[in-house]
Chain A
Amino acid sequence: AQTVTQSQPEMSVQEAETVTLSCTYDTSESDYYLFWYKQPPSRQMILVIRQEAYKQQNATENRFSVNFQKAAKSFSLKISDSQLGDAAMYFCAYRSANFGNEKLTFGTGTRLTIIP
């Protein structure tokens, strides 16, 4: 079974600064997808960024980028120019690429606080 580990329960960053959230995972599969989701106080899950394991290039979405290290099974999220609206719980998630096995396995989450 796959597992996802987020070792930082809480992180804080000064507004406009950069912060990196860590995530490691364990799997025996070679093809899969990795995601970062944001859950603000409204509890609505919002997809931040996704990475296909077969792609070597790290995904980037505006101020959000990942450092995907497949051999190390590491998938960290970097948030640049942090904004007050970035304050939320962030969950790392894994999904198999096998058709019919599309369930997401989530990490325990990191609560990000933005300091004005």
Chain B
Amino acid sequence: GAVVSQHPSRVICKSGTSVKIECRSLDFQATTMFWYRQFPKQSLMLMATSNEGSKATYEQGVEKDKFLINHASLTLSTLTVTSAHPEDSSFYICSARDLGGSTYEQYFGPGTRLTVT
């Protein structure tokens, strides 16, 4: 089946630094990837939609200058949290749509836990 990986699985960074999270589709091509944020015991909130070769579309209230998204290839999207602060600590999940698959299937990565100290 389709597999999506995320790296790193856990990261701790100091306040004010930047951290990059990678999302890769391992066995399929993904023109569209999605980035979600999940706070403890809460639901997934879509942050942005990442399209290969074009600018990401951010949801209302998400700071595009803080959460930089790059989708440079059909198998890789990155989320960079710039000038991280403790309130950015969260669980970040990506998903990817299979270019050659059904119109409705999204495959989720295992998530990245970010802790900002």
Contact = CB atoms under 8 A, between A and B. Distances in A.
A35 B110 CA distance: 19
A104 B110 contact: no
B34 A107 contact: no
B110 A43 contact: yes
By size class, the interface of chain A is: 20 to 34
B89 to A, nearest CB: 15
A75 interface: no
A33 B103 CA distance: 10
B interface majority secondary structure: strand
Chain B interface size band reads 20 to 34
A43 B42 contact: no
A50 B101 CA distance: 15
A43 B106 contact: no
A106 B91 contact: no
A47 B95 CA distance: 12
B44 A50 contact: no
A2 to B, nearest CB: 12
Contacts of B108: 44-46
A104 B111 contact: no
B43 A103 contact: no
A56 interface: no
Q: Which of A42, A47, A104, A107 has the most CB of B within 10 A?
A: A104
A108 interface: yes
Given A33-B104, A104-B44, A108-B42, 16 more contacts: A35-B104, A42-B110, A43-B91, A43-B111, A44-B108, A50-B104, A91-B43, A99-B103, A103-B34, A103-B49, A104-B46, A105-B46, A106-B44, A106-B45, A108-B43, A109-B42
Interface of A: 33, 35, 42-47, 50, 52, 91, 95, 97, 99, 102-109
15 contacts: A35-B104, A43-B93, A44-B108, A44-B110, A44-B111, A45-B95, A47-B105, A50-B104, A91-B43, A97-B103, A99-B103, A102-B34, A103-B46, A105-B46, A106-B45
